[in-house]
Amino acid sequence: MGVDGKSSGSALAAALFLFAAWTLATWVLEGRIDTLLRPEAVVDRAIYAILANLLIGIAVAIALLRMLIRKGWLTRQSAGFGQFTPSPVRLAMAFGLGLAFYMLQGAPSLEPVVLLNAFCQVLVVSAAEVIVCWGVVGATVKALLEPRGGAVSTVGAALAASVLFGLYHFAHSAPFDTFRMVALLSVVGLVTSAVFFIARDIYATIVFHNFLGVFGVVQALAASGQLGALADLQPPLLVMAAATVAMLVVSDWMMLRRGPA
């Protein structure tokens, strides 16, 4: 599906406005006050996760997708929310591929409890990242470039989503807010782009992308000698992960599944 003229400009402007609002919320609630660098800031972490990611990154982003789909600028399929998503097969493949990438990068820990805690810890951010950068912006850019051909539109969308994913990290606390890290994450984002535009399954993409976050968290804790913080099961992390899945599934069902295909 392609969009043109005034429609294309409106769709892209809406997608970029969402990205800007989500990034600003991340900076205000996390990067500005170094929330993730303060283990004792439990309340601040919860506020950041709920407002920036659950609310804006997932619920508001899916509401915007609903509008873009209703206006005919996107389809559920192009945004990764097609009729046959989530697919158990694609989810299993994404999990296996993500775990393989984690292993290939060095696997700082293979303790099941550590991996489960880390997976739950980063899930809320990963879900928001994939939905905003790929499900909204990437799909919109691809639709805009569609008249230029499938290859051009896919490459253009992959680059746009990956670069914005990298730039978004300027809103985070150290060490993610450096030019070197942003450039590295933009390159890493290309791998997520490949998964998204091949699978066209937002759920599978989130599972894969989350393993990239797991590696970052576990590696950082291992380097600082704080890996023991994840050695025991962390109920708050499990609760936040469950809330993330619930928000994603309910928003998808209420705002997209009950709308146009």
Condensed to tens digits (0 to 9), the pLDDT of residues 97-109 reads 999 999 998 889 9
Q: Residue 81 above 50 pLDDT?
A: yes
- The reported pLDDT for the residue numbered 1 is 46
Q: What angle do CA 129, 133, 138 make, to 5 degrees?
A: 150
Question: What residue spans of the chain are helical by DSSP H?
Answer: 5-26, 42-47, 61-70, 88-104, 112-129, 139-145, 150-168, 179-199, 202-223, 235-251
Q: How far is CA 17 from CA 21, 49, 64, 234, 251, in A?
A: 6, 20, 10, 35, 20
* Total number of domains in the chain: 1
- Rounded CA-CA distance 203/58 in Å is 12
What mean pLDDT comes out for the span 181-203? 96
Mean pLDDT on 191-208: 97
Rounded Cα distance between 93 and 205, Å, is 10
Which pLDDT value is given to residue 228?
A: 83
Domain hosting 43: range is 5-257
Distance CA 44, CA 48 (A): 6
Q: Report residue 81: phi and psi, to 5°.
A: -115, 40
Give the rounded distance of the alpha carbon of 176 from its chain centre: 16
Whether pTM exceeds 0.85: yes
More confident residue, 258 or 196: 196
* Digit-coded pLDDT (tens) for 29-72: 999 999 888 878 889 999 999 999 999 999 999 999 999 999 98
